[in-house]
Each structure stands twice: as structure tokens, then as C-alpha cells.
Amino acid sequence: MLSDRDFGAEDYEMLLRMDEDNLQPAREAPASDAEIARLPQRTLTTPEEVGTVDGNCSICLEPLGQAGATLRTLPCLHQYHKRCI
């Protein structure tokens, strides 16, 4: 499919315009404070709870699984510290 023809300057310009169109970020309104407050949260109080959480918060990069940490879970199931969200 079109592999037998040479591309010219107009083709290059068209590809640049297409790429610029694809680089525009989606413009969605950020979540309101009320929406964030409705997200599920839990506080890790026991060693068993702490042991169920692995990894770091993607915002502050500190471990999620620490005693006393309060975590929020987003609809996509990613977890973050409550203070970071």
C-alpha cells in the first residue's frame, strides 16, 4: 500500500500536522474536591493490612504499605496516599 512511491515535501508536512493533532492532550475538567472526597479510602492499621499493599505512591514515591497510611483508590483501582490525591 503506497510502498512503491516516493514521499514528497507535502507528504512530510501532512504527517507533521497529523502528529501535532495527536499530541494535543484531552481537555477534561479535573475532579472536584467533592468527587475526590467520595473516592474509597482506607487506613492501614494492622500488620496484615500493611502486608496487602505493595509498591510506592506514584506522586510522592514513598511506600504505600506503611502503618497508619491512609490510601485512596481511584476508579481505575490505582492507589495513592490520601494526602497526595
pLDDT digits (tens, 9 = 90+) for 27-61: 778 889 999 999 999 999 999 999 989 899 999 99
pLDDT at 20: 75
pLDDT at 39: 95
Which residues face 41 on adjacent strands?
A: 72
Could you tell me if 53 and 79 are in contact, meaning their C-beta atoms sit under 8 angstroms apart? yes
The beta strands (E) that lie in the chain are given as 41-43, 70-73, 79-81
Task: Tell me which DSSP letter residue 5 carries.
Answer: S
More confident residue, 1 or 16: 16
pLDDT at 28: 79
